[in-house]
Homo-oligomer: A and B are copies of this chain.
C-alpha cells in the first residue's frame, strides 16, 4: 500500500504528515447547521451541491439535518452517492452520450436520480436510455437565467422543451434548473442582487408559462453560497443548491455584505496543513504544499495564523511564504518543521468518496479530519441517517 494516510484518530495536529487536507469539524458542523436553519426559516428545501465534497458521509450529514437530497455535477458522482445511501440525487448538468446516460438510467432504478436537459438531443438520448433500462427518469429543464453558459432560453423555448420531456413515456418533467453561477462571486451585494433579480424574473416567467401549459414545477432549483439568501426569499425558488458553504473557500470571503464588511455567514473549515522544508533565505520559508496541493484558478491560498506572510511562487510540490513589507519574520525552522495552515481556494481537486474511502481526500496529499481538540478524528456517518426525508414540496 504505497499511499499512507497522513493521520489516524487521536494523532496530535503537530504529528500529522504534510501536506494534508484537514477539516475543522467544529466549523464544518456549524456551517452545516447554519444553512439548514436558514432554509427552514425561509420555508425552502435544501439540496446541497456535493461537487464540493464528493463524500456520501458528508451528504448523509446534510440529509440528517433536513436536506431533501443532493446535487451532483457528474453521473459518476451520483453513482457514489446512491451507493452511499443517498435516495434523491439531481445531476445538475447536461449529460450527453449513451455510456453516461445508461448509467444514469440504471441508477434511477435504485434511487430518485434526476437528469437535466437544455436541448432536444438531451431529451431524446435520456429517453432512449431510460427505455433501455425500463426506468422512468425525472428531468429538470435548465434555463439560462443570465450566465449564458448552459440553459435554454426562458419562457416559450423552455416550455416547448418541457413539453418534449412530458411527451416521453420514460421521462417525467420535474421542474427547472435555474442557477446563476456567475453571480456567486460578484463582490458587492448590489451586483449580486441585480443578477439574481434578473434570474428570479426569468424563472418566474417560465414557471408561470409552464403552469399555464399544464406543467407544474416540483423543483425550482438554483442558488449558491454567494446568493442563496436572495433566492430563498424570492417566493419563486423552492430548492437551494449551495455547496461551498460547508468549507467556505478563501474567494467567497472576498464577497462583501450589505454593510461592506467581508461575507462571514460561514467559517473557513477546510485547510491545507503544510511544513516548512527549507529556509535558506532570511526572508523566505519554503513549504511542502505547492501547485499540486491547491487549485490556483482563484489565486493563491492565504496563510492562516502567520500575520504578514504571503504565499507566492508555487512550484509543483513546494512554495514560498515571504513576509509582507514590515511584517515580522516567519518563525524559524523548528526541529520537525514549522506547520502552516493555508486556506484552500475553490475548487479543490477532490476525488469521489466511497464506503472504502472514508476520508475526504485531497490531491495525493491524503487528509486528516480534525476537531477542536487539535487531534485527528474520523468524520463518521450520522448514527441514525434519516435517508432522503423529503419535506412536502411547494409546487409552483
- Chain A residues with CB under 8 Å of chain B are 2-4, 15, 17-18, 51, 73-74, 76, 79-80, 83, 93-100, 103, 118-119, 121, 144, 148-153, 181, 275-281, 284, 286, 288, 291-292, 295-297, 313-318, 320, 333, 335-337, 347, 349, 351-352, 354, 363-364
Complex: how many Å from CA A4 to CA B75? 11
B336 touches A149 (CB 8 A): no
A318 touches B280 (CB 8 A): no
User: Do A286 and B73 contact each other (CB < 8 Å), given the known contacts A314-B297, A333-B121, A337-B97?
Assistant: no
CB pair B347–A364 under 8 Å, yes or no, is no
Q: Is the CB of A121 within 8 A of B76?
A: no
A204 and B314 alpha carbons, distance in the complex (Å): 28
Q: Evaluate contact between B280 and A97: CB separation under 8 angstroms.
A: no
B277 touches A315 (CB 8 A): no
**B286 with A291: CB separation less than 8 A:** no
Are A76 and B4 closer than 8 Å at their CB atoms?
yes
Contact partner, A3, options B76, B118, B153, B276, Cβ 8 Å: B76
Top 8 closest pairs, chain A to chain B, by CB: A150-B278, A96-B337, A73-B317, A296-B297, A94-B277, A96-B277, A94-B278, A2-B80
Counting chain B CB atoms within 10 Å of each CB, which of A73, A80, A153 scores highest?
A73
Q: Please indicate the chain B residues that have their CB under 8 angstroms from the CB of A336 in the complex.
A: 96-98
Q: Name 10 extra pairs, CB < 8 A, besides A17-B100, A119-B278.
A: A2-B76, A18-B97, A94-B277, A96-B288, A97-B337, A98-B336, A149-B315, A151-B280, A291-B347, A292-B347
Set B95, B286, B297: member contacting A149, Cβ < 8 A: B286
For A316, list chain B residues within 8 Å (CB).
51, 73, 347
Whether the Cβ atoms of B313 and A149 lie closer than 8 Å is yes
- In the docked arrangement, what's the CA distance between A313 and B276, Å? 35
- Supposing A150-B318, A335-B121 touch, asked if A297 and B291 sit within 8 A by C-beta, the answer is yes
Q: A286 contacts B17, CB within 8 Å?
A: no
The answer to whether B153 and A280 have CB atoms under 8 Å apart is yes
Cβ-defined partner of A83 (8 Å) among B2, B275, B349? B2
